[in-house]
Amino acid sequence: MNNAPDRRIKPRVSCSYPAVIEGIDMDGNRYNEHARLANLSASGLYMKANRYIESGSKLSVTVLLTTENIAKDTPKIATNGIVVRVESQNDGTCGIAVKFNSYRFL
């Protein structure tokens, strides 16, 4: 059992929102990848993706604020941030924690 205190400053909300990750890989190629959020706060997010992304990478993540059918007018949050933690998952996905540099509602 982990008895370490939670270091998070902002409260987290568990969610399962779809997201789109945009970044540049280690070879300098741009990519666009689908992901699914696990939680969201005012200072960052944690998501699962099929792509491994290096800690320290700069990312843009667009979060669709729905768990229903995605429509053209679905509210979104556009974020820019830094990957602060990467965790390989048992299901073959990669858990990615991102600390926001900025965000805005679309």
Q: What does the pLDDT average to over 3-10?
A: 60
Q: What is the CATH number of domain 13-105?
A: 2.40.10.220
Give the C-alpha separation, 46 to 37, whole Å.
6
pLDDT at 3 over 70: no
8 A C-beta contact, residue 18 and residue 70: yes
Q: Which residues pair with 20 in a beta bridge?
A: 34, 62
pTM tops 0.75? yes
Give me the count of residues in the chain: 106
Q: What does the pLDDT average to over 34-47?
A: 96
User: What residue ranges do the domains of the chain occupy?
Assistant: 13-105
